[in-house]
Structure 1
């Protein structure tokens, strides 16, 4: 399962061994115990990856093998591809932009997606460090 944690300024992606159902159940129980409202709803989430990432073709190949509507990879422009995922949004309410998005894909698809996202983050960090000089 992939877990995207959205904050005010960005998001963090991680791969979990826990099932979607277990994560949602745990969140619901926690919200109940602390008296917090919780919104759990199906949704589509999208993000961009640089189109020049080495290994992007592996994700595209796995996406075709996935043969489902859970993930799609589309060209956004000359520099980026858009990754769209069907999954579940978990947040304090339906209007907030901060929360957790979870989805489940084939293991290899999840692996390539996480690796590409990490590579993109490393490239962004290198650009920031270069600009600080």
Structure 2
């Protein structure tokens, strides 16, 4: 399962070895016990990866092997590709910009997408230094 945590400063991507249903159930139980509001709804999320990142072309092939309704890879411009995902949004309310997006893909695609995202973060931090 991939977990994208969206905050006001950006997002963080994690790969969890947990079933989506188990993770959502635990989150709902925690919210009920703590008295927090929680909203879980089907949604989409997207983020950009550099188009020249080694392996992006392979990700496009992996995405075609997946259910086309779960992941898409689209060229935005000469510099970036957009990764679109269909999963579930978990937040404190329906109008919240901060929250967690979770999606389940094949292990291979999840691992590969996570590695590409990590590499893009390393490349971005090297450029900013």
Specify the TM-score bucket, using the shorter chain as the normaliser.
over 0.9
Q: What stretches of structure 1 of length at least 5 have no aligned partner?
A: none
Matching residue of 2:39: 39
* Corresponding position of 2:98: 98
User: Quick one: distance in 2 between partners of 1:115 and 1:31?
Assistant: 31
Q: Describe the SS at the equivalent of 1:120.
A: helix
Structure 1 runs (4+) deviating above 3 angstroms are: none
After TM superposition, the structure 1 = structure 2 runs for residues 1-80 of structure 1, keeping only pairs within 5 Å, are 1-80=1-80
In the alignment, structure 2 segments of 5+ residues that lack a partner are none
TM-score normalized by structure 2? 0.97
Partner Cα distance (2:77, 2:60) in 1: 16
Post-superposition CA distance 1:27-73 (Å, at most 9, x none): 00000001001000000101110000001112111111113310000
C-alpha RMSD of the superposition? 0.7
Deviations 1:96-126 (A, max 9, x none): 1111000000111111100110011001100
- How many residue pairs get aligned? The number is 129
